[in-house]
Amino acid sequence: MASDIPFHFALADAFTVCDAYHCSLMTSTDPNRYYLWTGFTGNDGKGGGPVLNNAEAGYDWTTYPERLQAAGVSWKIYQDIGTGLDAKGSWGWTNDAYIGNYGDTSVLYFHQYQNAKAGEPLYENARTGTNAAAGQSYFDVLAQDVKNGTLPQVSWITAPEAFSEHPNWPVNYGAWYLSQVLDILSSDEDLWSKTALFIMYDENDGFFDHVVPPFVPGGPVGGASKVDTSTEYYSAGNGYDEGSYGLGLRVPMFVVSPWSKGGWVDSETFDHTSVIRFLEKRFGVHEPNISPWRRAVCGDLTSAFDFGLRETEVPELPSTASYVPPDHARHNSYPVTLPASTALPKQEAGRRPARPLPYDLAADGRITGGALRIAFASHGPAGAAFVVTSTTDKTGPWSYTVGARQGIDGSWKLAGAYDYDVRGANGFLREFKGDAAKAGLEVVAEHVGTGRNLKLTLTNNGRSDVTVTITDSYGCDERATHRIHAGKHVTHVVNAGESDGWYDATVTSDHDAAYVRRFAGHVENGRPSASDPAIITG
C-alpha cells in the first residue's frame, strides 16, 4: 500500500486487545490518520521479560506509539479517566464498570508513560480523557476532534468495562458503544471516505470454531520450522512450565471501511501483531519486536481490503437506541429465558464473498523405508504453519512452519495401522490412513489456480495392480475409478471451479481396505471467491 494514499484507518479492538487479556476499542481518522492497537510487541532489551499474565508489573521496552512518534506520526488514546490515570486511580481501572478504561490502556503499565509529565507527548496522548463521573459523554473528545479535523494519524479508543462484551456484560451494550463511534467517524463524509475501522476481540464464545491455531514446535511439541522460532519460547519459572507464546484461540474481527463493504470474508491467519504490521505497511515505521515466525505465519491485514473501491456512502444501520444500559449498576447475572425446546445453533444462512488469499499450500505424503514422510510446502507469497495429529501415534502433536515458497519434511516411523492428518490455513486438510504393510499407492495433490481445480497424481509403487476410487464430497464430479498397473501412474482432476475453488476429495484402494488419502481445502487464483458451501447454516 503506497504511503501517499490518503486513507484513514480506525481499529476497534472491541472489545479486546489483549496481550494481557483485556478489552479495548480502537479507532482513527483524517488524511493520513490511522487507528490501530499496538499491544506489547516484545522486549527490546530495556527490561521486563515474558508477559504471561495480567500482573501489569511495569515495563520499559519501547512501545509502538513511541516508534510512531519518533517517526513524526501523530497518535492518541481516547478513554475515560475513571478515578484517575495514575497509580492512585489504578491507571483507569475502577470498580465502577461505567467509567474508566477497564485497565485496557496497556501502555499505562510502562514506566515511561507512568513517569510522563503534563505537557509531554506520552502524557497528553495516553493519560488524558473524558470524565464520565462528572457527567461528560464518553465520546466528547473524539467527537470534538472529528469536528475540528484534529484527530491524530493513529488513535485508540478504550471502552469502560460495561461496554467490553466480557462476561457477564451484554453484547447489546458493546453494540451501542460501537455504534456511537461509527456515527462519529461517519459524520464527516470526507473523513469517512478515508477511514477504516478494525473491530477485534480477544475472546470468543466457542461456537462454530474447532480450528487448532498455529503454534511453534519445541518442548513437548514435535516438528520443525524453516523460520526462526528462537523468540517464541519462555523458560520455566514463577509458577510456569516452559512453553511457547501462542498463537491463541481464533477470535472474531470486523473490518469496516469504504474498501471492505459487502460482507466479505478474509480467512488469512492474523494475530494482534498484524495490526502493527498494517501500520508498518502504511507509514514505514518498523517494529523490531515482531518475531520472524509471527511475520511468516500471520498476515498484515491488507488482504481484507480492495483498495480499488471508492464506495464512500455510509450504509443505513439498525438503531441501537434500545441497547443503552437501563441503569449503571453491576448485575451478578442477566436473566436468560431458555427456549421450550433446545437444538444446536446454526450459522447465519447464506454464503459470503471471500477475499483472495496468498496461500498455495501442499502436504504430500509417501511411505518409504517403513516411515510416512510428508513434504510440507508453501508455493505462494505467504508462509504457513501446519499442525499434524494422529490417532495411532500418541507422541504428537507436531508443528511445521515454512516461509513463503519454502518446503520442509517430516517423518514418522510406522508399524501396522497408521492414521495422521495435517491441517493448515483456510480449511486446508490432508489425511493419511492405511496399513503400512500394504504400502505402494501414493497420491500427490497440486492446486491448478487458473481453473480452480485440484490435480491428483496417483502412483502405484507396488508390485500388484490396484483399483482406486475417488469421491468428491462437494458433488461437483461423479465418483471415479482408475485401474493403475504396477509401476505406473494416472492423473485425475477434481473440478473445484463449480464450488468456487473448494474441494474435498477422498481416495481409497482395493489393495488396502484401511487406505485413505483425503484432500480438502481451497484453490486460490488471485481473484475473489465465496465462502465454503459445505458449512452448515440455518
Question: Quick one: pLDDT at residue 534?
Answer: 87
Q: At what angle do helices 140-148 and 171-186 cross, to 10 degrees?
A: 20
| The pairing of beta strand 502-509 with beta strand 512-522 | antiparallel
DSSP for 484-538, written as a single string? E-TT-EEEEEE--GGGTTEEEEEEEETTEEEEEEEEEEE---SS-EE--TTS-B-
Which run of H or of E encompasses 409?
strand 407-413
pTM, two decimal places: 0.88
Q: Is the dihedral of CA 407, 412, 414, 420 positive or negative?
A: negative
Residue ranges in the chain whose pLDDT is less than 70: 1-50, 205-210, 334, 538
Query: Residue 244: which H helix or E strand, with range?
Result: strand 243-244
User: pLDDT at position 118, please?
Assistant: 97
What's the confidence (pLDDT) of residue 33?
A: 29
Q: Report the 10 Å Cβ neighbour count for 430.
A: 25
**Which among 24, 52, 423, 334 has a CA at the least distance from the CA of 201?**
24
| Nearest-angstrom CA–CA distance, 351 and 530 | 7
Beta bridge partners of 518: 431, 506
pLDDT in tens, 472-517: 999 888 899 999 999 999 999 999 988 999 999 999 999 999 999 9
> What are 482's three cell numbers?
482408475
pLDDT single digits (tens) 28-42: 222 222 233 333 344
- Residue 353 one-letter amino acid: P
**In degrees rounded to 5, what are phi and psi of residue 323?**
-90, 0
Q: How many CB atoms lie within 10 A of CB 19?
A: 19
- pLDDT tens, residue by residue, 316-375: 889 999 999 999 998 877 677 888 888 877 778 889 999 999 999 999 999 999 999 999
CA 140 to chain centroid, in Å, comes to 32
Are the beta carbons of 24 and 16 closer than 8 angstroms? yes
305 Cβ contact partners less than 8 Å away, ≥ 6 residues apart: 196, 255, 257, 259, 260
